[in-house]
Chain A
Amino acid sequence: GAVVSQHPSWVICKSGTSVKIECRSLDFQATTMFWYRQFPKQSLMLMATSNEGSKATYEQGVEKDKFLINHASLTLSTLTVTSAHPEDSSFYICSATRTPKVMNTEAFFGQGTRLTVV
């Protein structure tokens, strides 16, 4: 199967700082990537859809200025948590589908990033 690499796997940062998480599709091109957030023992909540070369589409209730998404190439999307607070501590996971987007195709997930804000 295709490989999606997410970096870093874990990060600890101080309140008020910003953290950037990278999501790369290693062996395929992805026009669209998705960012999810997961709290302990809960499901994945879709935060935003990242489209290469255009603005991300955010889900209702997700602050655009808080969670900056950049999808500058067909293999890389980044999520920047700005002015992080302890309540932003969570597990962030990205996924990608192949390009051109084919219906009824599986999504490939990164290994996730554990963010802890202290």
Chain B
Amino acid sequence: SQQGEEDPQALSIQEGENATMNCSYKTSINNLQWYRQNSGRGLVHLILIRSNEREKHSGRLRVTLDTSKKSSSLLITASRAADTASYFCGCQGAQKLVFGQGTRLTINP
């Protein structure tokens, strides 16, 4: 079964607004990774946060990790139309990287 669950499943916002996506997982992890996927394409790595880290930034991206609640969030600030895509959290165990259901993000111009 999938390790992660994401919400919302779909999110539609106006350009310039911030977008927040959440990911929850069930078992212990070594790290959690966020990926982006444009329709019909492969996954592009966005950011990796280790199990001993609580927050990480990369450009307009901010990721948090709460291992006590087994949850993570991805915040995209000042969204752009080009941010429209599906976003997945990947939970990295000893070897396998298992993905959540994903959030389909639509940025309206």
Q: Which residue of B lies closest to A45 (CB)?
A: B2
Q: Does any Cβ of A come within 8 Å of B59's Cβ?
A: no
Min CB gap B2→A, angstroms:
6
Instruction: Compute how far the CA of A104 lies from the CA of B47 in the bound complex, rounded to whole angstroms.
Output: 11
Instruction: Compute how far the CA of A6 lies from the CA of B40 in the bound complex, rounded to whole angstroms.
Output: 13
A111 touches B30 (CB 8 A): no
B88 touches A32 (CB 8 A): no
Residues from 26 to 72 in A contacting B, C-beta threshold 8 Å: 32, 34, 36, 41-46, 49
Q: Is the interface of B mostly helix, strand, loop or mixed?
A: strand
- A-side contacts of B100, CB under 8 Å: 43
Min CB gap A49→B, angstroms:
6
Min CB gap A115→B, angstroms:
13
* With known contacts A104-B30, A106-B33, A112-B40, A44–B45 Cβ distance under 8 A: no
Min CB gap A61→B, angstroms:
10
* With known contacts A41-B104, A43-B101, A107–B42 Cβ distance under 8 A: no
Q: Does any Cβ of A come within 8 Å of B69's Cβ?
A: no
- A-side contacts of B81, CB under 8 Å: none
Q: Does any Cβ of A come within 8 Å of B96's Cβ?
A: yes
Q: Which residue of A lies closest to B101 (CB)?
A: A43
B30 touches A1 (CB 8 A): no
- A-side contacts of B44, CB under 8 Å: 109
Min CB gap B13→A, angstroms:
19
Q: Taking beta carbons and an 8 Å cutoff, which residues of B are in contact with A?
A: 2, 30-31, 33, 35, 40-45, 48, 50, 88, 90, 92, 95-102, 104
